[in-house]
Every structure is written in structure tokens, then in C-alpha cells.
């Protein structure tokens, strides 16, 4: 199972539940004119290069179209960043072991960097939280969610 956090630069200055609803409904549609999009278009390769300035150990590989996938170099950590033309999706494993705080610390470092460097807001669909830049409280909430849900997922 993979945990995911979505990052976007809202045109209005803040990410709202209505924007997220619109993105989940129309985000895969390419016929919509740019003026209707509530989030800014980004250049995936340029954004990937920006992330590589923060962490040059990330391993870049091409993805669909102009998208780029960045992988953390340690397979046991299993963090990947999928950079697309509207933002970034960060994936990491659901885990309740001792690595959870390390993984979350790395992930939230990327999130904070993208907020500071480019104005990205984040959306955590598992916790249904919108944020301009996640903090240590979010790390604690995410860790608690993982610790409570993982046993239930394993049982079913």
C-alpha cells in the first residue's frame, strides 16, 4: 500500500476543498482551457531540476509524456516523487516500523522546500488536510494514521 500527498500551486493563492474537487473531477481532461484551471501549469523537467538542487541523490527517470519520476536512492525507504504538468505527487509506503519517522521527515522536507521555493500547497487525501506547508504536527498525525490503519489493512 502506498501513501500519497498531492502538491499544487493554486492560482488564487490558497488551495481549497472546491479546487481539490475540481481537480479530481476534471484533472485528467486535457480539453479544458487554461483559464479554467484553478492551479498553475508547471514545467515538469524544470521542477525536477529544482528538486534535484535540494536533493541531488534523487534518481530521475522519464515518465508518461513530459512527466518525470524522482526516486529516493534507498529502496528500503521507497519514496518517489511524480512530477507532472500541474504539480507533484509524493508516494511512500504505509509503514508502522521504525523507519516511519525517517520517511516522513524526508517527505515533509520536500513539501516544505516546494512551498518555500515555488509556492506549492499540499493535500493529504488520507487525512483530508489542505496545507500551505506541512509541519511537525502533520508528521505526527500522518504517523498516527499509519500506525492505526496498517494493522487493519493487513487483517483484511
pLDDT of residue 151: 53
pLDDT at 138 over 70: no
Distance separating alpha carbons of residues 15 and 66, to the nearest angstrom: 25
- pLDDT for residue 152 is more than 60: no
Distances (CA, A) of 88 to 7, 82, 95, 147: 5, 5, 21, 25
Second-level CATH architecture of 2-155 = 2-Layer Sandwich (3.30)
**Helix runs in 27-125, H state only:** 44-54, 100-118
Model confidence, pTM: 0.85
pLDDT of residue 85: 95
- Average pLDDT (146-153) is 56
* Structure confidence at residue 145 (pLDDT): 63
Domain boundaries, the chain: 2-155
> Would you state the pLDDT for residue 1?
75
Say whether pLDDT at 101 is over 90: no
> Tens digits of per-residue pLDDT, 26-65?
998 889 999 999 999 999 999 999 999 999 999 999 999 9
In whole angstroms, give the CA distance from residue 147 to residue 131.
22
**In this predicted model, what pLDDT tens digit does every residue of 58-75 receive, in sequence order?**
999 999 999 999 999 998
Amino acid at each position: 500500500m502506498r501513501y500519497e500527498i498531492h502538491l499544487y500551486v493554486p492560482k488564487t493563492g490558497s488551495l481549497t476543498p472546491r479546487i481539490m474537487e475540481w481537480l479530481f473531477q476534471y484533472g485528467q481532461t486535457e480539453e479544458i482551457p487554461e483559464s479554467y484551471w484553478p492551479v498553475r501549469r508547471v514545467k515538469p523537467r524544470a521542477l525536477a531540476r529544482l528538486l534535484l538542487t535540494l536533493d541531488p541523490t534523487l534518481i530521475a527517470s522519464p515518465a508518461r509524456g513530459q512527466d518525470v519520476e524522482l526516486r529516493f536512492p534507498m529502496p528500503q525507504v521507497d519514496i518517489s516523487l511524480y512530477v507532472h504538468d500541474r504539480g507533484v505527487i509524493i508516494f511512500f509506503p504505509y509503514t508502522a516500523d521504525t523507519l516511519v519517522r525517517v520517511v516522513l521527515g524526508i517527505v515533509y522536507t520536500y513539501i516544505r522546500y516546494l512551498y518555500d521555493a515555488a509556492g506549492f500547497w499540499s493535500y493529504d487525501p488520507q487525512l483530508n488536510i489542505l496545507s500551505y506547508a506541512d509541519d511537525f504536527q502533520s508528521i505526527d498525525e500522518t504517523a498516527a494514521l499509519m500506525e492505526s490503519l496498517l494493522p487493519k489493512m493487513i487483517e483484511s
